[in-house]
């Protein structure tokens, strides 16, 4: 019998590991996918995001996307979005306990400045890096005990029964655990809900309004509300290509060519409502109910609601004590990095509360 099982392999799963602490007993189920077998999953290219210098990842779901200008992302490999992200976090919101946990794991919070070719309207923003000075890639800090894709979950009043497709053999295997921590990302969380709850549901998400522009000076502009992040042209190119280590010979050109990408998050929120409907062929499709014409460009969508209930409230009737972690579980956040909110949420839900 497993004491605690973490389902997922991205930053939320790492946050769970940090919050549980080194003395806790836990196992990790990767929730990646190699063997589709007869799961009725289909590849959804709309949700895939890949970069040249990082491992290619597919998205598989029980549903397709019928909406234009809807930017959801799904990476079903170890590390998840941390394979390709910028690794930014607001250090000023983190407790000494969290900072110590990060340091003990060998994760460095590196200041950003003109030398690193990044700048921000918030002095608290740092970049998560490893001891080799590469942007944090979670796959280097998590080793799954079970490599497979979660397909079923039930609770008998005392413990959980998890069914998963093993990525090596393709067989259905069963695990038993006293507690479950789901860290699967938006698309895979929706997959889990669709598979386990065959009824009409209305979903909602929020994000801070977001825009991208250019700036031709190193000076950080004064802004009223919101949050602004600046990338030198060459650091933006590194990010676009998925290069995690610094290329100092390119960074040095920032002094000669002071061209910066300006990424702004406003205090104003956009809200999206959607449901799943079947087309004439019986295929399940994501369908927008209401919301802006464009949604998801910030990549920091949060607060997933189901029939106006939070994830935790929706599932507590069926799965007492289950823990959801990730951006979908964050109810409120300020514009800017969301990783610090995920970390704080993990420590609030798990630290000192799990055996």
Q: What is the pLDDT of residues 211-223, one digit of tens each?
A: 999 887 766 666 6
Quick check: 26 pLDDT over 80? yes
pLDDT tens string 221-241: 666 678 998 888 878 888 788
Q: Give the pLDDT of residue 37.
A: 63
pLDDT tens string 157-172: 899 999 999 998 889 9
Q: Give the pLDDT of residue 196.
A: 81
Q: What mean pLDDT, rounded, does the chain reach?
A: 89
Specify the higher pLDDT residue, 176 or 237. 176
Quick check: 114 pLDDT over 80? no
Q: Give the pLDDT of residue 164.
A: 93
Q: What is the C-alpha separation between 167 and 34, in angstroms, rounded?
A: 5
Q: Give the pLDDT of residue 338.
A: 96
Quick check: 295 pLDDT over 90? yes
pLDDT tens string 78-95: 999 899 888 999 999 999
Q: What is the C-alpha separation between 338 and 327, in angstroms, rounded?
A: 7
Where residue 187 falls among pLDDT bands split at 50, 70, 90? very high
pLDDT tens string 241-260: 888 876 655 666 666 677 88
Q: Give the pLDDT of residue 247.
A: 65
Quick check: 355 pLDDT over 70? no
Q: What is the C-alpha separation between 90 and 196, in angstroms, rounded?
A: 36
Cα–chain center distance at 282: 30
- Please state the φ and ψ torsions of residue 214, each to the nearest 5 degrees: -125, 155
Quick check: 35 pLDDT over 70? no
Dihedral sign for Cα 262, 263, 267, 272, please: positive
Quick check: 352 pLDDT over 60? no
- How far CA 40 is from CA of 29, 246, 275, 277, in Å, comes to 21, 42, 19, 16
Query: Is domain 2-112+133-203+273-350 annotated with CATH 3.50.50.60?
Result: yes
Give me the mean pLDDT over the 46-63 stretch: 90
Give me the mean pLDDT over the 319-325 stretch: 90
What are the contacts of 23-28 at 24+ separation with CB within 8 A? Answer: 24/354, 24/355, 25/355, 26/2, 26/354, 27/2, 27/145, 27/146, 27/175, 27/177, 28/142, 28/143, 28/144, 28/145, 28/146
% of the chain residues with pLDDT over 70? 92
- Where do the domains of the chain lie? 2-112+133-203+273-350
């Amino acid at each position: 019998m497993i004491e605690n099982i973490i389902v997922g392999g991205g930053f939320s799963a790492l946050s769970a590991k940090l919050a549980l602490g080194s003395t806790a007993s836990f196992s990790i189920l990767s929730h990646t996918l190699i063997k589709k077998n007869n799961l009725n999953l289909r590849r959804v290219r709309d949700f895939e995001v890949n970069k040249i210098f990082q491992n290619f990842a597919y998205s598989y779901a029980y549903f397709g996307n019928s909406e234009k200008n809807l930017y959801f992302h799904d990476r079903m490999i170890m590390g998840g979005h941390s394979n390709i992200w910028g690794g930014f976090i607001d250090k000023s919101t983190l407790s000494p306990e969290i900072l110590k946990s990060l340091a003990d794991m060998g994760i460095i919070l590196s200041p950003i400045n003109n030398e690193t070719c990044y700048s921000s309207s918030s002095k608290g923003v740092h970049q998560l890096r490893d001891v080799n000075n590469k942007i944090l890639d979670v796959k280097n800090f998590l080793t799954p005990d079970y490599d497979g894709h979660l397909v079923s979950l039930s609770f008998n009043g005392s413990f959980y029964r998890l069914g998963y497709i093993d990525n090596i053999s393709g067989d259905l295997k069963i695990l038993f655990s006293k507690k479950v921590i789901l860290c699967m990302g938006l698309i895979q969380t929706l997959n889990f809900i669709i598979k386990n709850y065959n009824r009409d549901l209305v979903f909602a998400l929020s994000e801070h309004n977001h825009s991208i522009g250019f700036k031709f000076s190193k000076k950080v502009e004064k802004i009223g509300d919101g949050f602004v992040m600046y990338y030198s042209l060459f650091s933006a190119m590194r990010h676009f290509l998925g290069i995690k280590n610094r290329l100092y010979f390119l960074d040095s050109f920032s002094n000669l060519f002071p061209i910066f990408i300006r990424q702004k998050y406003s205090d104003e929120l956009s809200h999206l409502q959607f449901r799943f409907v079947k087309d004439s062929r019986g295929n399940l499709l994501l369908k927008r109910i209401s919301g802006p014409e464009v949604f998801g460009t910030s990549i920091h969508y949060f607060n997933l609601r189901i029939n106006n209930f939070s994830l935790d409230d929706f599932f507590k009737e069926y799965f007492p004590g289950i823990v959801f972690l990730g951006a979908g579980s964050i109810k409120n956040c300020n514009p800017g990095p969301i990783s610090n909110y995920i970390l704080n949420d993990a420590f609030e839900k798990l630290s000192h509360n799990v055996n």
